[in-house]
Structure 1
Amino acid sequence: MNPLDFIEQHKEELLTTYQELHCLAEPSWQEKKTSAYIAQKLQTAGFSVKRFNDHYGIIAEIQGTSGQVVALRADMDALVQEVNGVVRPNHSCGHDAHSTMVLYTALALASIDLKPKYTLRFIFQPAEEKGEGALKMMEDGALDNVSLLFGTHVRPVSELPYRKASPVIIHGSAGTIRGNIKGRQAHAARPNEGINVIEAAALLVQNLKEIDLQTDVPYSIKMTQLTTESEATNVIPETAHFALDVRAKSNEVMSLLDQRTKAAMELAAEQTGAAFTWSMEEFVPAAVKNERAMKMAEKAIEEVLGEENIVPVCISQGAEDFHFYTAKNPGLAATMIGLGCGLTPGLHHPEMKFNLDALIYGTKILTQTLLTVLQET
């Protein structure tokens, strides 16, 4: 049986799997039920499944005749967000869709008598939303001997229309700087006796606005949180806590922006006498285009959807920890396939929805991508 025919014949089962994963919805590092569900499906199909003691990631393989490995990665975790007044895990980023498509790609390829030259590795990764899961999977050998890596992500209609697909998503780099400001408490009637941390934060905001990197590459930095410990309105507070959202469309610009941000904080400290401490958290690098991987993905999209439905590049305002795989392994050929699926009103919106037919043609694209790799001479 042709693997694409397998997908067509099992599409109702595939859609049921998606619905069941959607209902499981577990946050980063807590994907216990999701992981068990996927592992059971793989084991039933005859896969030997590797699992881990300290996280819920999964690796499954179809063994090849050479030592080289081609990998396909899915993320499993859900966001924790307010939905109709209740804070709970919610699959508003599409990771349930990604897991479903990668799972059924594995099942489709396992359904035929396949003796590939490359080992085909299927990676189910935890904790993408925290920007930590890819690093952990690499630490545990997910990229050992991998020369080609593919991923996929459902895209909002503003980026890709329904039944369109792109061989590459250009995500930017992003990070959160969390910091503390230490001043000196004083009565509000005697401000000269204190060091006002709110004024120090205000100067930091102004310093950040004056950053000019003189580049055409888009970037941004803005304060998104500011809190103090004091509840009194007539006291200059001693301590403040802040968060900065930092973004750039290239890793080089992100590095420069990080340097200038640190300089802005040091200047605010000098201007006010307050002490600043900070650290970068939830950092993810920007995407780097790889022509070899893109060419294979593009050929697969053409086979499944037709040449007229290829969008050469998908530009995203978001970020993805998939790009740690290439940032930490510069020689790796990798790309993330963008899947147009009629997604509205947007990723991370609590009421995000998309056309479930995209799961069928998305799985076919991933399957055809791996078949394309195996046909490579």
Structure 2
Amino acid sequence: MDPILFIDQERKHIFQTYKELHLLAEPSWKEEKTSKYIKKMLVASRISTQTFSDHYGLVAEIPGKKEDVIALRADMDALVQEVDGIVRANHSCGHDAHSTMMLFAALALAKTKIPLTHTVRFIFQPAEEKAEGALKMMEEGVLENVKFLGGIHLRPSFEVPFGKASPVIVHGSTVSIKGTIRGMQAHAARPEEGNNPLEAAALLIQAIRQIRLKDDYPYSIKITELHGGEASNVIPETARFTFDLRAETNETMEKLIKQSEHTIKKMAELTETVIDFSLEEYSPAAIKNDKAIKLAERAIISILNEESLQAICKSPGAEDFHFYTLKNPDIAATMIGLGCDLTPGLHHPKMSFNQEALIYGAKILVKLIVEADQLQ
């Protein structure tokens, strides 16, 4: 049987699997039920799997004639956010959809026994939302012998329309600067006896807003968290802050970080406070690979049509998939942007999409593997 026909025949099963994974929603590093669910389906189809002792990442493999590997990666974790007044794990970024599509791509190849030259590896990754899962999976050696790596991500309708797909998502780089400003506590009636860290924070925010780079690519930096003080009549000793930094390229991000660090240090001197800070939640920008993009283009056109190919999907968001290419630049890799009528947007607690996209998304992944198998 043709693997594309297999996907068509499994339509109801695909929709049901997505529904069940959606209900299982688990936060980063706690994807136990999700991982077990996926593993059970893989094992039932006699696909070999590998699990790990200290996290719930999962790797499945279909052996080929060569030891060289072509791989796909999907994320499993959910966001933790408030939904209808309740803070809980919630799949508003589409990871349940990504896992569903890759799972059925694996089942289609295994069930139909399509002859492949390369070994095919399926990486079900934890903790994408914390930008930590890709790094952990690389520590586990999941990229050993990998020549090609593909991924897929649902896109908002304003980025990629329903029925279309892009062979590459150009995510930007993002990082958070988290820090603490330490001043001197005093009674609010005698402010001259203290050193108000909130006032220092206000000056720091204004200084950060004045940062200008000589750079051709877009970037932004803004305050997203500020906490300090527990009583209205006391100048606090400390204030905590977070700045969100974004840049279209990794090189621009390096400049932005350098200028931000310089500004923070200068502001500590000016306000005579102690400012301790660190870089956290870093995600690199996408690195485009022409060879991988061409393979994805052929897969999309084969499943949809040439009119349904959107040349590029540009996103200000972040994705830890790009750690794989940042750390392994010799691997041909790309992430497909899947149009699916997603509204009102990614990470919105009421995010929804047209589930018909699961069908053509799974088919595109199957075809991507077939195309990548032609790599020499």
Q: Does TM-score exceed 0.5, indicating one fold? A: yes
Counterpart residue number, 1:132: 132
Normalized against structure 2, the TM-score is what? 0.98
User: Is the Cα–Cα contact under 8 Å of residues 286 and 323 in structure 1 kept in the other structure?
Assistant: yes
- Find out whether 1:156 has 2:156 as its counterpart: yes
Distance across 2 between alignment mates of 1:231 and 1:257: 33
- Give the 3 Å change call, closer, same or farther, for CA 375–145 of structure 1 in structure 2: closer
* Cα separation, 2, equivalents of 1:187 and 1:88: 40
Deviates more, 1:339-348 or 1:262-271: 262-271
1:129-278 mapped onto 2 (5 Å cutoff):
129-228=129-228, 230-278=229-277
Question: Is structure 2 residue 66 aligned with structure 1 residue 66?
Answer: yes
Query: Could you tell me whether the CA contact under 8 Å between 1:175 and 1:283 is conserved in 2?
Result: yes
Q: Please tell me whether the aligned partners of residues 156 and 347 of structure 1 are also in contact (alpha carbons under 8 angstroms).
A: yes
Give me the whole-angstrom Cα distance separating, in 1, the residues matched to 2:187 and 2:113: 79
- Taking the aligned partners of 1:291 and 1:12, their CA distance within structure 2 comes to 36
User: CA offsets per residue over residues 317-357 of structure 1, 9 Å max, x none?
Assistant: 10000000001111111000000000000000000000000
Residue aligning to 1:322: 321
How many angstroms apart in 2 are the aligned matches of 1:165 and 1:300? Answer: 10
State the shift of 1:210 in Å: 1.3
Separation in 2 of the partners of 1:94 and 1:63?
29
The alpha carbon displacement at 1:175 in A equals 1.2
Q: Conserved in 2, the CA contact under 8 Å of 1:63 and 1:115?
A: no
Aligned pair count reads: 376
Partner SS for 1:254: helix
In structure 1, the residue matched to 2:364 is 365
Q: Secondary structure at the match of 1:312?
A: coil
For 1:231 and 1:35, the matched residues in 2 are separated by 42
1:335 maps to 334
Mapping for residues 338-353 of structure 1, pairs under 5 Å: 338-353=337-352
How far did residue 376 of structure 1 move? 4.3
The separation in 1 between residues aligned to 2:34 and 2:113, in whole angstroms, is 28
Task: Name the Cα RMSD after superposition.
Answer: 0.9
Cross-structure match for 2:32: 32
Runs of 4 or more consecutive aligned structure 1 residues displaced over 6 Å after TM superposition: none
How far apart in 2 are the matches of 1:231 and 1:170? 43
Contact in 1 for aligned 2:70/2:373 (Cα 8 Å): no
**Per-residue Cα deviation, 1:41-77 (whole angstroms, up to 9, x for no partner):** 0000001110001000010111111121110000000
Indicate conservation of the 8 Å contact 2:29/2:56, yes or no. Answer: yes
Q: CA deviation at 1:227?
A: 0.7
- In structure 2, the gaps of 5 or more residues are none
Partners of 1:177 and 1:212 in 2: CA distance: 17
Q: Which secondary structure does the structure 1 equivalent of 2:21 belong to?
A: helix
Shift of 1:193: 2.0
8 Å contact kept, 1:208–1:261: yes
What's the secondary structure of 2:180's corresponding residue?
Answer: strand
One-letter amino acid matched to 1:23: L
Question: Following TM superposition, by how much is the alpha carbon of 1:374 offset from its aligned partner in structure 2, in angstroms?
Answer: 1.9
Deviates most, 65-74 or 355-364: 65-74
- Aligned partners of 1:332, 1:267: CA distance in 2, in Å? 41
Q: CA deviation at 1:237?
A: 1.1
Q: Counterparts of 2:238 and 2:345 in 1: how far apart (Å)?
A: 37
Report the CA distance between 1:252 and its aligned residue: 0.4
Q: Using the alignment, how far apart are the partners of 1:271 and 1:357 within structure 2?
A: 58
- The question of whether the paired residues in 1 share the 8 Å contact of 2:182 and 2:274 is answered with yes
